[in-house]
Amino acid sequence: MEPDHPLQRGIILKLIHKPSATFTELLGDEKDSNKFSYHLTKLESAGMIKKADCRYSLSDEGRKLSSFIEGDTGSKAAFPTFAHVLIVRDGDKVLAQRRLKEPFYGYWGFMSGKINFGWNVEECARRDIEEECGLKANKSELIGINQAKTYEDGKLLHHHIMFYVKLSELEGKLKEKTHKGENAWMTIDEFKKKERFPDPWFDAVMNAKGFVNIETERIMKDGKFVDCRMGTMKTIG
């Protein structure tokens, strides 16, 4: 549950800055005590706050929520999306995927996925290639990171922090299609001819001799990529 009323957000915000408080301390200057009591009880019933010895405090769920709201306003905080991008090669071919979901429906790229809460990057990478491609990777290596911002009409639409994971020593038979994407082995020349994500980093990542740190800005117009600028690129090691 997320606080869906200003009074609820205000209560959470006060308890972020004050570990425990009485009803009166939380009420503050609020005039309608009945309305306030309703929202306080709603938070307690939802397990976001708890009461002991006539004092209220955040529950474990409430403390978890506090990481996702702005400490000054109580509004929901915006965070980047953390994802892995899988670099998988077999001889002169790479494993590519055409997205069958938004955002970026229809574009070719490397298989990617969100990094789940409580999982590390390489765990997610090995799990996702098995679930989505039917392949088991016995070896994984984190080889780079890309902070990518996507804009349309001057507005920031997406902010991705993407970890490049190289997977190798594969077992299994490739799934050619799932509800998330179409998978295919292809040469780099074949891949570059596809309608794909703009990737000025491609050669740097594919031929990296160390850990690559990249920043890029992608520009869209009418839902299509029209430009991509690479801000910085550093190779470590």
Give the range of the structural domain holding residue 23, as residue numbers without chain letter.
6-66
Task: Judge whether 204 lies within some domain.
Answer: yes
**Residue 121 and residue 20 in one domain:** no
CATH, residue 229: 3.90.79.10
Q: Indicate if 151 and 225 belong to the same structural domain.
A: yes
**What confidence score (pLDDT) does residue 121 get?**
96
155/89 same-domain check: yes
Does one domain contain both 57 and 85?
no
Domain identity same for 139 and 45: no
In a domain? residue 1: no
Give yes or no for a contact between 143 and 237, defined as CB atoms under 8 angstroms apart.
no
Q: What angle do CA 228, 193, 124 make, to 5 degrees?
A: 65
Same domain, residue pair 230 and 184: yes
Tell whether the model's pLDDT for residue 237 goes beyond 80: no
pTM for the predicted model, two decimal places: 0.79
Q: Mean of the pLDDT values across residues 5-30? A: 92
CB 82 within 8 A of CB 146: no
Which among 39, 66, 93 is the end of a domain? 66
What's the average model confidence in pLDDT over 75-80?
83
Question: Do residues 113 and 222 both lie within one domain?
Answer: yes
Is 121 or 77 the better-scoring residue by pLDDT? 121
pLDDT at 208: 79
Q: For the chain, what percent of residues have pLDDT higher than 90?
A: 75
Per the domain annotation, does 231 fall within a domain?
yes
Q: Indicate the helix (H) or strand (E) that contains 192.
A: helix 188-192
Residues 95 and 23 in one domain: no
CATH number of residue 13's parent domain: 1.10.10.10
Handedness of CA 128, 129, 134, 139 (dihedral sign): negative
69 contact partners, CB below 8 Å, separation of at least 6? 3, 9, 12, 13, 16, 75, 76, 77
Q: Establish if 43 belongs to a structural domain.
A: yes
> Do residues 24 and 62 share a domain?
yes
**Sequence-ordered alpha helix ranges (H) in 52-165:** 60-66, 121-133
| Residue 205: predicted pLDDT | 86
What total of structural domains would you count in the chain? 2
**Which has more confidence, 8 or 71?**
8
92 and 58 within one domain: no
